[in-house]
Amino acid sequence: MNMKKLIITNSSLSFYPGKVVCVGRNYAAHAKELGNELPEFPIIFLKPSSDIIFSGDKVVHPEYSDELHYEAELVLLIGGKIKNASDEEAENAIAGYAVGLDMTLRDLQNELKDKGHPWTLAKCFDTSAVLSDFRLKSDYKISLKEKISLKVNGLVKQNSLLANMIFKPEQIVKYISERMTLEEGDLIFTGTPAGVGKVVPGDKIEAEIENINKLVTEII
């Protein structure tokens, strides 16, 4: 086994990354900027754990796309196995938080959407899931009044309150657990605010959630 461990800040605990479950269109302003309707239920897709890289690693731009987009997101770490979770179990299953990037091939995604095909190849490619270190909930309980922000080459592109999420973290965990078992080390990307855009090789990205963590990466 050659799996990379997640590193947890302020703690000796570490986890093997499991499946990566992602929520689409979870901020109204972002759904609108891409011309999408507001979802009635969370829109769910997956990424393989082999797509994960960490702050300081580089995002490799696939050659078969001309439109690589950044999406800064709050990422939840699941601390134990749950299935059909109650509200309380969903809340308790969240062990920590990070800031992450759901890197997306927007041209491919639009093409696949038009054809009615799954988004898989637009969302799943090596280095498409970038993570900061995690902050454990036992150390700090997140407030939705906190800001999530992203800069490209020092310019602010995304800046929102987590409170603008349509579906809140516990609701998302509960919803997913009604459809698939969540296990220790699974990660949930909770969607991106407005301001997504294209990056090209050489661009440097910084993303931050106040009081949680910060990540840096470069496109190559």
Residues that bind Mg ion (CB under 5 A): 71, 102, 192
Q: Are 20 and 39 in contact (CB under 8 A)?
A: no
Min separation Cβ 24 and Mg ion, Å: 6
Q: How many angstroms separate the Cα of 204 from the Cα of each of 61, 155, 160, 208? A: 13, 10, 20, 14
Q: Of 55 and 192, which CB lies nearer to Mg ion in the complex structure?
A: 192
Min separation Cβ 1 and Mg ion, Å: 29
* CA-wise closest residue to 105 among 89, 125, 134, 135: 125
Q: Of 85 and 165, which CB lies nearer to Mg ion in the complex structure?
A: 165
Min separation Cβ 2 and Mg ion, Å: 27
Query: 202 in the Ramachandran plot: left (φ > 0), alpha (ψ -120 to 50) or beta?
Result: left
How many Å from the N-terminal Cα to the C-terminal Cα in the chain? 28
Min separation Cβ 23 and Mg ion, Å: 7
Backbone φ, ψ for residue 203 (5° rounding): -70, 145
Residue closest to Mg ion, measured at CB: 102
Residues 6+ apart with CB under 8 A from 145: 161, 162, 163
Q: Of 149 and 192, which CB lies nearer to Mg ion in the complex structure?
A: 192
Q: Of 24 and 79, which CB lies nearer to Mg ion in the complex structure?
A: 24
Min separation Cβ 22 and Mg ion, Å: 6
